[in-house]
Each structure stands twice: as structure tokens, then as C-alpha cells.
Amino acid sequence: MMVLGIESSCDETSASLVQDGKIILSNVIHSQLIHQQYGGVVPELAARDHLNRVSQVTEEALVRGRIGFADVDLIAVTNRPGLAGALLVGYSYAQGLSLSLGIPLIPVNHVSGHIYTAFLKRPDIQLPLVALAVSGGHTSLFYMDRDHKISLLGQTLDDAAGEAFDKCAKMMGLGYPGGPLIERQAGANKIKPVKFPRALLGQDSLDFSFSGLKTAVLNHLQNRGQSDVSDGELSSICAGFQEAVFDVLTEKLRRAAVLTNCRTLAVVGGVASNQALREKMVSFGRQEGREMIIPNPVLCTDNAAMIACCGYHLYRNSSDKHFEYKVSARAIWPKYQTS
């Protein structure tokens, strides 16, 4: 089955062709750089850029995949959660294609799409699976059973990990987006990292909280006087902050693995493109004797291949093949409901 995926939930316009949920023929991603000057994504500007790009990006995906619209069997599109205007652009475009081509349209939860990148990395994945989805908008733990049913195990009570990266980078005057900038600074650190607190929220909690860590970074900067912080100390702060975040992510994943007795683990989402986190999680999986799946970095950030893969599995596993008009685009979706 040839699936055309379309993703437009935030500031990436993407279209992808995925065959049988595992072979990526094309994955075109247009990232909007205009938001850098504002220190964050401006929803109206994002929606306008999606409108200008979605048709072009989709056609480029077809060209790279060397097929035409007539060869597409299913369209999968992100319809939740995300920026309202951005979602509407992608969903409306996909709906129009579905009607004109006479092929099914299946709406996909953006977070579920991230989880399914594990299948693009390892098509023969052994379920059940515990997945840590960690990005700018989400930090959650999920359990996927052998029937692909996804259940929420834990989630952030305040900031997502990626959001904390962005906010702390802004505090330190590094710019936006914060993740790559802090990663670069931390990688260059030559002195002992600053020790910041780890919020574990109790012995058995699977939830996350990064607001206290963010406050600790702010207090450290204020106590030092931001103008007096040398480049070397800035790298030490970044390294300490990054270690604190990653220690919490690792411990929560460990708890979830023990609770579910699950042997297969995955780390997905934009923050999973961080090389230090990837190395830490691979080492953790090896020590625990569990399979650790981390997608290639290009599949960690928002992309349409994950939407196409998720759509394929949703369609294949459902007895109801008429998804087209049951759900429209929705900016807010219950955090416990991924499908």
C-alpha cells in the first residue's frame, strides 16, 4: 500500500511517500526559519507559510518518489494536536486530495506519529513497546500493546523537555531554537558541569516536571550576574542543565520498563535527535538488557514519514475503513487520547 503522509502541525511543512508502512520513498521537509527572529513560533505566520508551501512540498515528494497521484492508495494527515491554523492548512489540503482522487483519508495524532517512527527504524519491532516521546511540545511515556493500542503512562505536569531547552536558552541569551544551541555549548564544555536538581516526583511517579529545573537555571544566572558569566561557565551551565534533563528522562523510562516488564523501548521526538541523549539511552538499554530503538535524527523532528507510517498501521488494523469526515483538525486533544 502506498501512503501519502502530510504534516503541518507546527512549523514544518512535510509530505512523504511510505510503502507498506516501512519503505520511505520520499520525505520532504520544509522548516520555517522566519520564527527565529521572534524567539518562538508565531501561529499566524506558520499557517501562512504552510499555505504557501503545502502543494509544492507534496508535489516534490511525488517527484522524488517517482510516482503520480494515481499511484497513491491512502492519505494520512496530522489533524491533532498542534497550532489550529497550521493544522487546518494540511488537513484541508489532504481532504481536497482525498475527494478529488477518490481514495481514503485517515487523520493521525501527531504524538502517535512520533511513536511510529520506531517502526520506520525497526519494521519487525517486537511488541509490546514502551515509548518515551520527548519534544518541544510533549514529554510523555506510552505503552503500546501487541494490538497497537496506545496507553498513556505518564506526562509532563508543566513544561515539555524541549520547551525547557528553549526557555533556558533564551535566559542565557543563546537564541532559538534552544535544543541545538544548548547541545553545542554542552558538547564544548571543558569543566565540571553545574549541578542542578532532578525532579523525580516521588519513588513511583512516571510524570515529569521541568519548571523547577528552569527556575534553578534562572537563579544560578541571577546569582552569578549574567553579564559576568564567561563562555566556559556558560558551557558548564548548559552541560549541567542537559544532564539534569536526561537523567530524569532515563530514570522515568527505567521505571516504566520495570512496571510493564517490557523488553522493547523507544525514544522518539525532536529531543531524541540530541547526540548526548542518544548515547545515554543506548548505554542504558545495553545495561538493562532491553532493546533500545531510537530513530534516525531526521525522523525525530516533525516529518510526514511518521504520519504515513502511523496512518498505514491505523488503516490496516481497523475494521472501519471510512475515516474521512469523522474528525476535523483540532488544536487541543486530550493528552491521554492518542488515537
In a domain, 338, yes or no: no
The Cα–Cα gap between 141 and 249 comes to: 10
Q: Does 209 lie in the same domain as 153?
A: yes
* DSSP codes, 135-156: SSS-EEEEEE-TT--EEEEEEB
Give 218's DSSP letter: H
Q: Are residues 146 and 178 in the same domain?
A: yes
Sign of the CA dihedral with 152 first, then 153, 157, and 161 last = negative
- Judge whether 269 lies within some domain: no
What residues contact residue 332 under an 8 Å CB cut-off, 6+ apart? 81
- Rounded Cα distance between 147 and 317, Å, is 8
How many domains is the chain built from?
2
* Domain span at 230: 127-262
Q: Confirm whether 335 is domain-assigned.
A: no
Residues 78 and 148 in one domain: no
153 and 53 co-located in one domain: no
Task: Please check whether residues 253 and 195 belong to one and the same domain.
Answer: yes
* Same domain? 133 vs 36: no
CA-angle at 222, arms to 217 and 225, nearest 5°: 120
Q: Both 153 and 241 in a single domain?
A: yes
Strand 12-19 versus strand 105-109 pairing type: unpaired
* Cα–Cα distance list, 140 to 145, 198, 277 (Å): 16, 17, 16
Residue entry with cell 519487525: 124
Question: What number of other Cβ atoms are within 10 A of residue 228's Cβ?
Answer: 8
- CA 324-329-333 angle, 5° bins: 115
| Domain co-membership, 57 together with 172 | no
Same domain, residue pair 65 and 161: no
CATH of the domain at 187: 3.30.420.40
Residue 292 lies in a domain: no
- Helix (H) or strand (E) holding 110, with range, is helix 110-115
Domain identity same for 85 and 212: no
Q: Are 110 and 81 in contact (CB under 8 A)?
A: yes
Backbone angles phi, psi at 144, to 5 degrees: -110, 120
Residue 39: its pLDDT value, please? 85
Shared domain for 131 and 252, answered yes or no, is: yes
Among the listed residues 138, 182, 167, 218, the one whose alpha carbon sits nearest the alpha carbon of residue 39: 167
Any domain includes 200: yes
Residue 336 lies in a domain: no
274 located within any domain: no
Task: Examine residue 186 and state whether it is found in any structural domain, yes or no.
Answer: yes
Q: pLDDT of the chain along its 339 residues, tens only?
A: 999 999 999 999 999 999 999 999 999 999 998 888 888 899 999 999 999 999 999 999 999 999 999 999 999 999 999 999 999 999 999 999 999 999 999 999 999 999 999 999 999 999 999 999 999 889 999 999 999 999 999 999 999 999 999 999 999 999 999 999 999 999 999 999 999 999 999 999 999 999 999 999 999 999 877 667 787 899 999 999 999 999 999 999 999 999 999 999 999 999 999 999 999 999 999 999 999 999 999 999 999 999 999 999 999 987 665 555 455 666 665 554 554
